[in-house]
Amino acid sequence: MTAIHSFSDLQTKLAENDLTYLLLYKQGSETSDCAFENLNNFEIENVHVYTADVSSVRDIHTEYGITNVPVLLRFEKNVLGNQYKGCNQPDFYKSIFENVLAAASTQADKKTAQKQVTVYSTPTCSWCTRLKKYLKEKNIRYTDIDVSKNQTAAQEMVKKSGQQGVPQTTIAGTHIVGFDKARIDSLLGL
């Protein structure tokens, strides 16, 4: 992980990479130190992860309206995407980065790209576990968002469906509530 010292420094890094992650944290805060340590466990080639301590870098979080740290921000081609709040376990970060690497290697191997799949889940949801297991069995790459830890994503999910229950899945812009295997198969061409 490389430290970012200003918003302009971040803009330079975003221009250099198609996919960039930035951990905003506050050194000395227990939760921030936890997130920093757990994220620092990974040295993954082709995944660009930067850090900014909001105690000394004061222009990034204000630019994006971030009011609570720690938060891991995902930027795709200069556009802010997912936000992963709080201190997450190393396995959580590993799954995020493995999905990125799997998507990159599969796209290099195949001429046709798979539709984008996002699963909204919680760790205690048995139907969520079944859905994710099914997608893995079918070799479908997906982004798993734990809505119990990501309040912004939880609000987006409810806004899309009008429901709080999980699992919910978005496949190429189409939203599905529950584990509707027939509809998932149809949308993915399985």
Q: What is the pLDDT along the chain (190 residues), one digit of tens a residue?
A: 889 999 999 999 999 888 889 999 999 999 999 999 988 876 666 678 899 999 999 999 888 888 899 999 988 888 888 888 888 887 777 777 766 545 444 444 444 567 889 999 999 999 999 999 999 998 888 889 999 988 888 998 998 888 999 999 999 889 999 999 999 998 888 8
Q: pTM here?
A: 0.55
| Residue 66 belongs to some domain of the structure | yes
Q: Quickly tell me which residue has 């734990």 as its tokens.
A: 146
Token code pair at residue 106: 């599969």
84 & 131 share domain:
no
| Residue 176 belongs to some domain of the structure | yes
Q: Per the omega criterion (within 30 degrees of 0), is the bond before 123 cis? A: no
The angle that helices 126-137 and 181-188 make with each other, rounded to 10 degrees, is 30
Q: What is the pLDDT of residue 100?
A: 58
Q: What is the pLDDT of residue 109?
A: 46
84 & 151 share domain:
no
Q: What is the pLDDT of residue 78?
A: 81
What is the Cα Rg of the chain in Å? 17
Contact 31, 87 (CB under 8 A): yes
* Owning domain of residue 52: 2-93
CB atoms within 10 A of CB 5: 13
148 & 88 share domain:
no
Tell me the C-alpha to C-alpha distance, in Å, between residue 67 and each of 4, 11, 149, 158: 18, 20, 16, 22
6 & 88 share domain:
yes
Q: What is the pLDDT of residue 121?
A: 94
* DSSP 8-class letter at 114: P
| Residue 159 belongs to some domain of the structure | yes
Q: What is the CATH number of the domain that holds 53?
A: 3.40.30.10
| Residue 171 belongs to some domain of the structure | yes
Token code pair at residue 29: 């805060």
Contact 54, 69 (CB under 8 A): yes
62 & 125 share domain:
no
